[in-house]
A and B are shown apart, each in its own frame.
Chain A
Amino acid sequence: MALAPGPDLLGDGSGDERPKWDNKLQYLLSCVGFAVGLGNIWRFPYLCQTYGGGLGCFTVSSLIGIYYNTVLTWVLWYLLNSFQNPLPWSACPPDRNLTGFVEECQRSSSVSYFWYRQTLNVTADINDSGSIQWQLLVCLVASWAIVYLCIIRGIETTGKAIYFTALFPYLVLTIFLIRGLTLPGATEGLTYLFTPKMQILQNPRVWLDAATQIFFSLSLGFGGHIAFSSYNPPRNNCKKDAVTIALVNSMTSLYAAIIVFSVLGFKAANDHGRCLDRNILSLINAFDFPDQSISRDDYAAVLAHLNVTQPERVAGLGLESCHLEDFLDKSASGTGLAFIVFTEAILHMPGAPGWAVLFFGMLFTLGLSSMFGNMEAVITPLLDMGVMPRWVPKEVLTGVACLSCFLASIHFTLHSGNYWLEVFDRYAASLNLVIFAFLEVVGIVYIYGMNRFCDDVAWMTGRRPSLYWRVTWKVVSPLLLLTIFVAYIALLARAPPSYRAWNPQYDQFPTQQENVYPGWVQVTCMLLSFLPVLLVPAVALAQLLVRHRRKKKAALQDMHLKPQDSGAC
């Protein structure tokens, strides 16, 4: 019997089939781009230097999508300002009388001034919101427009964009590697990085930081990887993909660390040289030596001689102590590394505007590819849940998602926006992810069943997972995640959460003032940390109730049907 094809089956096939990756490379690049983010560049090298948990995921991804794009906005602002020579953060602006430089800039540095005053226009307190910084608002619009352009049709468009956004950073990193290694002082920076400080390795905090870093670096628990992988064909060697992505992510962090440290070494050598020059100038001016008579190498000998012959005069000069190690120790991570330390290092490279354009272009594409993952983690569940009716095109859904996130992120362009960003970064994106990942692992291994899961993997990849995988899934990963979670809670509970504020009125300015968060902000932190997690039991409860009601309905229907059945028989 030939089965006639049903017209509805044919009609369905064309518009609604699940999108697919054009090729495997697009998928891998997307995952790598999602995993490799700003953290690889600015979190991992910092750690090297100092020592030596579906609706919940959706909420976390939305929260992160909102604030992550603000960082992209800052990067875009710096990128747009890099197209001029001299760079705007190279010199302090003169004050109103034109007799000197603006005081705030003089006391800190031109780079810090450009970041805190001209970019953020930051207030001294998180309570003081200030008004909207219109330049940042404009850049925010642009960066959301760019994100929308790339995700407008889901992976159909991100798949094309990812070729550029995932590969361009590696190109720039390589260019910086060549430039960085040829800078004077780079070797000091690299030896500093690769010299382990043995006693610090005994501090358990090191290992905790390492575990959290690799966890967050892989961007786990957001639902982004799940979203991307759902567009793969079902028979897919996911084992090989997972190993590849993890390896590429770690290699990228190491690669970035080499580059960051050669540039930081150059900066430290530069700062050290200028410190010496300042001291030499003080000596020359005080003792009336001929101009340029003391070179940097002679400085130590001359200072020793003068200390012996005229110690009081030397003491009265107030010379700084210039040690290269002190400058190498000035570590920074996060926005501090990108917007203050690195921008200052770039100032001293020949052809500074070009390097600035490359650097910020790289940061922008890095953040952009991570944003793709975030937004996919938001949009894919919405699509799958059928939030919008069928006839609404996907462009509208992505547009609505981007628009809502944009409206929510306007808050970060206020003058206190930087402080709020830290709140989101520290509380929305940390505990939740650990808990989600823990629940995912435990849920699959213990509730779904290790054997069933191994069967699924065998069906997909052709081979059952080996003992290594089973042990890590069953024991190692849950244990590590639990340890991270407990350690986090312990650290948070130790002291009331505080933040560092940029306050020009502070007497120890430019050191940042340590303020405790006001009560309502602390409440917000708690909500951000635990609300997404609470969605997990909440949804479980809701599903239980729905199922219970369905059972009741089915039981009632059975009771109505039974008399009819007996009648038919």
Chain B
Amino acid sequence: MCGPVLSHRQDLLVLLLLSLCSSGGKCEIQKSESTASASESPFHNEIDQPQAFPDEERASLPVFTMDYPRIQVPFEFTLWVLLASFAKIGFHIYQKITIWIPESCLLIAIGLIVGAIMHSVKEEPPAVLTSNVFFLYMLPLIVLENGYFMPTRPFFENVGTVLWYAVVGTLWNSIGIGLSLFAICQFEVFGVQDINLQENLLFASIISAVDPVAVLAVFDDIDVNEQTHIVIFGEGLFNDAVTVVLYSMFSFVADMSAFESSDVFLGVARFFVVGAGGLLFGLVFGFVAAFTTRFTHNARQIEPLFVFMFSYLAYLAAELFAISSVLAIITCAITMKYYVEENVSQRSCTTIRHVIKMLATISETLIFFFLGVVTITTEHEWNWAYILFTLLFALLWRGIGILVLSQIVNPFRTIQFTFKDQFGLAYGGVRGAICFALVFTLPDSINRKNLFVTASIAIIIFTVFIQGISIRPIIEYINIRRTNKDLDTINVEIHNRVMEHIVCGIEDLCGQWSHYYWKDKFKKFNDRFLRRILLRDSRAESSIVSLYKKLELQTAIDLLDTPVGDLSAAPSIVSLYDERKNSSQPQKNFLTEDVRKMHDILSKNMYKIRERTMAYTNKLNQPDNSRAREILIRRHASIRRSLRAASFREMVSLFLKATHAHRPQTASQTVPLHRVLILHLPACSEFVSGELGRHRQHSSSRPIIPLRRLNTVKESTRAVGQSDSSPEEDVLEERHPRGHPVAAPRKLSSEWDQPPAEKEETVAPPPLPVPPGWVADSQNIRDNGAGDPLLGHLSQGSQESGRS
């Protein structure tokens, strides 16, 4: 036990040293730069001087030169990124830290340390960190990620509440904090009398905005219930519109001496312009992006580019007009995502997701890191009273605000916010980097700017550290309603769907309106117009049958994917042995993978009527798609590539653990909880050679395999039991002559009942003609290390088989 811990510490030390070295290395490099330039000058002088003695030694060809200024900026940038990334790796080595301390705190702490080091060697922070860089390069990436992976269903169900808190809440906070601070400024004893009302309001508008980055970083591992989570997440994102308006309004007014009432009206008008403008820009760019991807099937490599470029364009265009760029990029992402993911290839889809996550993570890491660094290196002005009061008011007004707002909005909600939820909302209002960057853009005409900077930093650090660290134990202590993210059981899934249909049905019966009505309307509109225009292949989604077959294909492939390590001997023998050994104990039933696949089947095919659910996303991981509709398909070629000898064994051993086995006759007896499959070796070798569509082989292999049926439930009568098994056989027979273009999926459709004989062939499928509009996506937080396989998109299966 001590061993691994010690090695963790050693790793940490190594990383720390590395990071110190890299920053130290920078210092050295800069010093050597000066020596390099010094060494060049004598050389230079020699040439300039007239050659008095031409035979004297002439300058020799420089073998080794150095030109640091040329590469300085990108070099330093890379070093900083690497440094921040090392820090991030470092945290995750020692798992226990991240449970209690959110990553943002750790990053800020490391930033503080590095800043202290730099300060002590009298270095300047990298000049690249300006507000411009933050707003133009770092923030869009983060917001793009938030928008792209936003869980749309909970969001649209709660959209009213989210906007209510975002808009009214931020207004309330700003005005409340501003006015109270102004009141404080009246007291002479605190020494801040020269801050007038406008400046106070300006400052208040900066610090009242909850920051989505920081909030998510804090709420990441805490599973509060869905409503609270989406509200606080959405609030962080959408209060940008209000912040922009308030900031521009107050900074404009701060220059003027008086504050007129017409300014208020203009401010309100501006708010609508900003908000609606942001939405409009986002929609426009989103639709254009979706439309563009309709035509990219011949240029697959650059498909991800469109997503990024259009989102970024939306952001920049909004910045051009000083409307809410955050809103624009979020709307763009939400709009675009649905259509783009149906149009692009599988790999592009994966690439897009991965790149977005990567860029956002880097950006966020850098932001917190620099927050720490710049904290040390800027000029501060500390005023105890002002800062403490700011803190106090920030907390106070947020608490009161949430309370009042919740009381107002609760009657309109079906699931109301309890006091615990409200506390979670209020306490989770963490300020972050946006506030920080905004305060640096304050015009220098404000004479107490440094005080504001200090106060902002103080608030950010306080909220991130204190609230961030303590929120987790507090939430656990007061026992907020948590969400149950684990869909472990098929039954839960089935009944979930049943419930949704029931509710839909009863609503129709009652003639009631609800958000289902709007969803339905939108869906109809979507199907009639939008899909036709924006999707390349816009046939309706209801070709579920072929969809299902692909699902089975996928399931079979995924079963092979999961490495099973405990069986290595010859399959048939081992399985026999296993069975005898375990006949007395019931074994565990399903691989998690099986369950997950069943979930996929259910969620994709059954009960699709009115809802499109998105999996709840964990920030650091790919979305968990156990409930999502996207599927992975592996293409023929990649399967062949992956068929190595080792994996053969794995696959074979997997067959042993597969779900159902078919018992030929004595079906009426029951064998409850055993799962054993006996596979015959020759059948396996057939499979490895991977020929498809060999019916004869298929049918001939069946008798070889003595299969046992797994019946957990006794059929109500013997007659039923037997008649139950025979239709299955009939179905099997009748499926052969069916003229389906693809052999494999057909057999797959009864994967559960008809076991390995078919599984063999399903493993190496041909490129399948895929139903249109069918998206696939990699997913799954797979702990078993299977990773995200390379996926082939089926919708262009035949065209693409040569490519990618």
Q: Do they bind each other?
A: no
Q: Which residues of A contact B (CB under 8 A)?
A: none
Q: Which residues of B contact A (CB under 8 A)?
A: none
